[in-house]
Copies of this chain bind each other. A is one copy, B any other.
Amino acid sequence: LGGAADTLREGLLAGNRRALARAVTLAESTHPEDRAEARDLLGALPEPEGTLRIGLTGAPGVGKSTFIEAFGLYLARLGQRLAVLAVDPSSSLSGGSILGDKTRMDKLARHPSAFIRPSPSGGATGGVARRTREVIRLAEAAGHGTVLVETVGVGQSETLVAELTDIFVLLIGPGAGDELQGVKRGIMELADLVLVTKADGTLAQAAELTRAEYQGALRLMRPRPGDPDGFPRVMAVSALQDSGIPEVWLAIDALAAHRRATGALRARRGAQAVAAFRREAGHLLLEQFRADPASAARWQAAEADVQAGRLSPEDAAGRLMDRHD
């Protein structure tokens, strides 16, 4: 590393907040020099040891920010240093970004142990995954050993967050049996923990009913091999009354400890990395192939033929690649 990069790396490893912010800015930049510097920096970081990556998703209005703030403050009181990152692949379209308004997590944002980073706007899903993966690594290197990755669930973002984290948490509101605020297909399948929010006051009973209903639904699915009994688990929480928060941490900690002890956590991270490598390598190969305008035009024509049923997928792919040889 060069002199400036070395200074940045040392600041990062010392837990310096400004160094972390600067490194994250480099990782999120689209300038080739910044990207190269970020890549060099990431390559010079030690392996993260004992960190925990928790993904969280939930529909708007479910009380996600309120929960994350209460949960984060609880972890900070336990002496943990944490990072809260947001993933929103749609932010290039909406112009806004979740977590953009830091006042949503006012107390947590001012806490010295917490590093909060809104979702960067712009870029395709692949870019979001790459950047988020890098920011996780940077935050961990700066000593933020517990990383919360939040998404509102636009497009494929929950799947993306699940593929970047060790444990995945779904938040739902009380009375979520109501189809209008139902859960997107496929997401319940990813959840290790389902949290029913707002379990207080007049909603306490509805929250308990919802909890039982979801626990029943999850029981109908085959448990994940290797996970301890009782997971996936459904719990009711109230950020307002600060109730259920320690229990959520105990559950997450127990599941993480189990997955660490069995090697499942390390295996999951390894598999996530290999899958990302394959996607990236395949993506780069396609990019190289389609960088040639004639190849790109033939690709488009082949897709149109396949879409309309004029050519079988296998036939079209074979013809496209044979001519490329």
Task: Say yes or no: A179 contacts B219, CB within 8 Å.
Answer: yes
Q: List residues of chain B with CB within 8 A of the CB of A223.
A: 179, 182
Q: Does A155 contact B (CB under 8 A)?
A: no
Task: Say yes or no: B221 contacts A312, CB within 8 Å.
Answer: no
- Stoichiometry, as copies per complex, reads 2
- Bound Cα distance A178, B186 (Å): 21
- Bound Cα distance A114, B274 (Å): 45
Task: Say yes or no: A314 contacts B276, CB within 8 Å.
Answer: yes
Q: List residues of chain B with CB within 8 A of the CB of A185.
A: 189, 221-222, 224
Give min CB distance, A262 to chain B, whole Å: 17
Task: Say yes or no: B222 contacts A184, CB within 8 Å.
Answer: yes
Q: Does A309 contact B (CB under 8 A)?
A: yes
Q: Which size class do A's interface residues fall under?
A: 35 or more
Chain B residue with minimal CB distance to A39?
B315
Q: Does A104 contact B (CB under 8 A)?
A: no
Q: Does A14 contact B (CB under 8 A)?
A: no
Interface of A is mostly: helix
Contact with B along A281-307 (1 / 0, CB 8 A): 111111011000000000100110011
- Bound Cα distance A283, B314 (Å): 11
Selected A-B contacts with CB under 8 Å, 25 pairs:
A39-B314, A39-B318, A43-B311, A43-B312, A133-B314, A177-B219, A177-B220, A182-B220, A182-B222, A185-B224, A186-B186, A188-B221, A189-B189, A213-B216, A269-B309, A270-B306, A274-B307, A276-B314, A277-B302, A277-B313, A278-B303, A280-B313, A280-B318, A281-B317, A288-B325
Closest 8 CB pairs of A and B: A276-B313, A280-B317, A217-B217, A277-B313, A182-B222, A281-B317, A284-B321, A277-B306
